[in-house]
């Protein structure tokens, strides 16, 4: 098995550790060494049986390990991953896919991505690097999900859709077929996307409409 370290020892990080345990029971894949986290107060502590090994500045101390970033907020995760690459240009990222995930052989998944339990991913789908797809999501044929996107639990993505870089899709939202969500936009929980959403905005409601734009 290959060594793995999770960045982020909070709630979602612990859920990812659980997914690693579930995966290893079916197909031994990762030797989970523990967490790294930039919170000073939890250094050297143990959470759910795994030690906090240091901070992002310490990633070079583990040259043989793979890393995965378990931080839900897309822009924050992008910033953390870029910092880790600056600290160690040779850093390696691993993906964690829960064994209950149903996906075809016609799905491409980038490095450092996390796909949680009971998600269904069909055919001819491209998923970028450092993407988080949380519990109980569905993704339809020919969808494209760009790097650092986050799908919170129970998101339904229809076919031929394009989810931009570092987009966040709120819990229980839906997007109908053929629509696009621009880079860095945030879609609120329970929203229904029936028209393209521009980049760098927050959109809510059914149908989803932008209510705020940001840099």
CATH assignment of the domain containing 70: 3.40.50.20
Q: Beta partners for 5?
A: 34, 67
CA–centroid distance for 215 within its chain? 22
Per-residue pLDDT tens digits for 69-85: 999 999 999 999 999 99
d(CA 18, CA 122): 24
Characterise 130 by phi-psi region: left (phi > 0), alpha (psi -120 to 50), beta (else): left
**Domain closes at, from 62, 94, 126:** 94
**Domain hosting residue 190, numbered range:** 97-203
Beta strand pairing call for 201-204 and 209-213: antiparallel
174-199 mean pLDDT: 98
pLDDT at position 53: 97
Radius of gyration for the alpha carbons in the chain, expressed in angstroms and rounded: 17
Q: Is residue 215 part of a domain?
A: no
Instruction: For residue range 89-118, list pLDDT tens digits in order.
Output: 999 999 999 999 999 999 999 999 999 999
Q: Convert the pLDDT of each residue in 136-180 to its tens digit.
A: 999 999 999 999 999 999 999 999 999 999 999 999 999 999 999
Which pLDDT value is given to residue 166? 98
Q: What is the pLDDT of residue 112?
A: 98
For 41-61, write each residue's pLDDT tens digit.
999 999 999 999 999 999 999
- Residue 84 and residue 14 in one domain: yes
User: In this model, does residue 14 exceed pLDDT 90?
Assistant: yes
Of 45, 64, 94, the residue that ends a domain is 94
Q: How many CA atoms lie within 13 A of 117 on its CB side?
A: 10
How far, in Å, CA of 152 to CA of 171, rounded?
5
Last residue of a domain, one of 94, 127, 153: 94
**Is 174 part of a structural domain of the chain?**
yes
The predicted pLDDT at position 206 comes to 96
Domains contained in the chain, number? 2
Q: What is the value of pTM for the model shown?
A: 0.96
Instruction: Tell me what pLDDT residue 215 has.
Output: 83
| Cβ(120)–Cβ(104) below 8 Å | no
């Amino acid at each position: 098995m290959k060594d793995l370290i999770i960045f982020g020892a909070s709630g979602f990080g612990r859920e990812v550790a659980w997914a690693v345990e579930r995966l290893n029971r079916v197909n031994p894949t990762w030797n989970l060494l523990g967490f790294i986290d930039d919170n000073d107060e939890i250094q050297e502590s143990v959470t759910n049986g795994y030690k906090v090994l240091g901070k992002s500045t310490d990633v070079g101390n583990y040259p043989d390990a793979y890393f995965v970033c378990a931080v839900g907020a897309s822009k924050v995760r992008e910033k953390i991953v870029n910092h880790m690459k600056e600290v160690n240009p040779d850093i390696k990222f691993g993906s964690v896919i829960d064994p209950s995930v149903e996906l075809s052989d016609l799905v491409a998944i980038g490095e450092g991505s996390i796909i949680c339990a009971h998600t269904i991913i069909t055919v001819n789908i491209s998923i970028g690097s450092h993407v988080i797809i949380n519990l109980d999501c569905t993704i339809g044929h020919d969808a494209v999900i760009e790097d650092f996107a986050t799908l919170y639990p129970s998101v339904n993505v229809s076919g031929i859709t394009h989810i931009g870089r570092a987009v966040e899709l709120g819990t229980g939202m839906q997007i109908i077929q053929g629509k696009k969500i621009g880079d860095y936009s945030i879609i609120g929980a329970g929203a229904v996307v029936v028209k393209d959403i521009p980049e760098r905005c927050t959109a809510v409601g059914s149908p989803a409409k932008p209510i705020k734009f940001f840099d």
